[in-house]
């Protein structure tokens, strides 16, 4: 009986998926804004499969907050599996200081994504926080 309780408790824990910014690409540019394609690599550190129903994040480039983004389509991740996902992130240039606009002209930047995964699996439904940063190429 005690062993069954311990096994059930062990199965109920889930490690947060590992998210890494994989690249930034400047997309459509208008008078008041620019679209960024944000690439992420997402890895499941758990032996069990899980579903990321969605995730939301704040994006920082060279320490400057650009705004909020999300991925709403959902991802299926096998146990210890990895996938790539691209999201579109709209930046309002009118609300950014000139120094931040200059950051978008650089070739390499320090990108940080901080947010929450909404996941489901054999453990039920959970909300898990993430905070990831990387040096990435800023493509055009």
The structure's pTM equals 0.83
Q: Is residue 129 part of a domain?
A: yes
Q: Domain total for the chain?
A: 1
Domain that holds residue 126: 14-139
Give the distance, in angstroms, between the CA of residue 82 and the centroid of all CA atoms in the same chain: 13
Write the CATH number for 129.
2.60.40.1820
pLDDT in tens, the chain (140 residues): 544 444 454 456 899 999 999 999 988 877 878 888 999 999 999 999 999 999 999 999 999 888 899 999 999 999 999 999 999 888 887 777 675 667 778 889 999 999 999 999 999 999 999 999 999 988 87
Q: What is the DSSP string of 41-72?
A: EEE--SSS-EEEEEEEEEEEETTEEEEEEEE-
Does a structural domain hold residue 37? yes
Residue 96 is encoded by which pair of tokens?
Answer: 């950014």
């Amino acid at each position: 009986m005690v062993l069954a309780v311990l096994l059930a408790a062990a199965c109920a824990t889930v490690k947060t998926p590992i998210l890494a910014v994989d690249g930034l690409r400047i997309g459509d540019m208008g008078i008041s804004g620019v679209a960024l394609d944000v690439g992420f690599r997402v890895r499941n550190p758990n032996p069990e499969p899980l579903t990321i129903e969605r995730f939301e994040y704040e994006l920082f480039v060279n320490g400057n907050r650009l705004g909020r983004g999300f991925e709403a389509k959902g991802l299926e991740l096998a146990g210890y599996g990895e996938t790539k996902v691209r999201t579109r992130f709209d930046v309002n240039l009118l609300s950014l200081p000139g120094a931040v606009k200059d950051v978008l002209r650089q070739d390499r930047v320090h990108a940080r994504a901080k947010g929450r995964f909404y996941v489901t699996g054999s453990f039920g439904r959970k909300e898990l926080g993430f905070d990831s940063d990387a040096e990435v190429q800023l493509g055009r």
